């Protein structure tokens, strides 16, 4: 089992049918880490107001994270907009898990990254909450349709994972513009603080690249893409697409972006 310095996770959305807790458990069982950073929307209180789908696997995810904290791994939780109720508890420790609004993390190679969820850069979430709630419902519909499509694909022997929600985001120009604007705002926030980069979540679009001279890193999600960021012992950051053949790797010390297939 490989040891890494840090694991970065966001947008797990526990409490929903869309949460792929079984894949997340496989990932967590595959790495030992010194630090685990949970960058928001870990529990989806928005969706749980409509209906709750809490599976045994999701319960095991919570237990495994708590166990890692008890056994010496540092676990830091930064609430997002879907679990914003926990922002009332910033600065305290819940079951050995630190709850903070944001965090500046220094990599093993000395570079400093701003860690937060990212809804701060989403103008719709900040100023038009009802549109964000409607979008959340529509996204949930897409994810449910995706489960039907995945079942049909498996019946026809197609084992590779395909995401309807991800396909829609890539095809809709307004969604692509939203992602571009989000990345620019996030990178600007890191640059204005004199930091080397930012690691966030929120938009369910995993990536690891340079934006305007700083490193922009997004963890993605565990709803349809099943992605996470790991920091290796030398400070190198890697984007893991769990269960998929295509992994994006960012060698941060050399500032190079490569695609590994």
Mean pLDDT (whole number) for 214-230? 95
**pLDDT at site 243:** 72
Q: Say whether pLDDT at 139 is over 50.
A: yes
**pLDDT at site 127:** 42
- Mean of the per-residue pLDDT values of the chain: 83
pLDDT bucket at 224, cuts 50 / 70 / 90:
confident
Q: Say whether pLDDT at 186 is over 70.
A: yes
Q: Which helix (H) or strand (E) element contains residue 241?
A: strand 237-241
pLDDT bucket at 152, cuts 50 / 70 / 90:
low
Mean pLDDT (whole number) for 207-226? 94
pLDDT bucket at 234, cuts 50 / 70 / 90:
very high
Q: Say whether pLDDT at 259 is over 90.
A: no
d(CA 130, CA 239): 32
CB 103 within 8 A of CB 127: no
* Beta-strand pair 93-94/32-38: unpaired
**pLDDT at site 250:** 41
- Which tops the pLDDT comparison, 34 or 177? 34
pLDDT bucket at 246, cuts 50 / 70 / 90:
very low
Q: How many domains does the chain divide into? A: 1
Residue 187, classed as helix, strand or coil, is helix
Q: In residues, how long is the chain?
A: 261
* Beta-strand pair 97-99/3-9: unpaired
| Residue 233 CA neighbour count, 13 Å, CB half | 6
Which pTM does this prediction carry?
A: 0.78
CATH of the domain at 110: 3.60.21.10
pLDDT bucket at 51, cuts 50 / 70 / 90:
confident
Q: Which domain holds residue 177?
A: 3-260
CA 95 centroid distance within chain: 22
CA R_g for the chain: 17
Using the structure block, give the residue that is written with the tokens 């949970």.
38
Q: Say whether pLDDT at 247 is over 60.
A: no
């Amino acid at each position: 089992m490989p040891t890494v310095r840090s694991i970065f996770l966001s947008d797990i959305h526990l409490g929903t049918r869309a949460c792929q807790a079984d894949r997340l458990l496989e990932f967590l069982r595959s790495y030992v880490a010194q630090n685990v950073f949970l960058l928001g929307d870990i529990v989806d209180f928005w969706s749980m107001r409509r209906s709750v789908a809490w599976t045994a696997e999701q319960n095991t995810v919570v237990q495994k994270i708590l166990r890692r904290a008890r056994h010496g791994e540092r676990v830091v939780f930064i609430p997002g907009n879907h679990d914003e109720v926990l922002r009332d508890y910033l600065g305290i420790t819940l079951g050995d898990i630190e709850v903070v609004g944001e965090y500046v993390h220094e990599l093993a190679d000395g570079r400093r990254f701003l860690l937060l969820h990212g809804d701060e850069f989403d103008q719709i979430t900040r100023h038009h909450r009802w549109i964000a709630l409607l979008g959340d419902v529509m996204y949930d519909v897409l994810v449910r349709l995706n489960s039907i499509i995945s079942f049909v694909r498996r019946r026809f022997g197609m084992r590779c994972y395909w995401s309807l929600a991800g396909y829609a985001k890539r095809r809709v120009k307004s969604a692509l513009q939203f992602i571009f604007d989000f990345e620019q705002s996030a990178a600007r926030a890191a640059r204005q603080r004199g930091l080397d980069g930012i690691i966030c979540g929120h938009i369910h679009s995993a990536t690891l690249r340079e934006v305007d001279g700083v490193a922009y890193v997004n963890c993605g999600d565990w709803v349809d893409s099943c992605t996470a960021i790991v920091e290796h012992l030398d400070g190198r950051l890697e984007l893991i697409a769990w269960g998929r053949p295509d992994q994006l790797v960012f060698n941060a010390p050399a500032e190079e972006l490569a695609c590994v297939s």
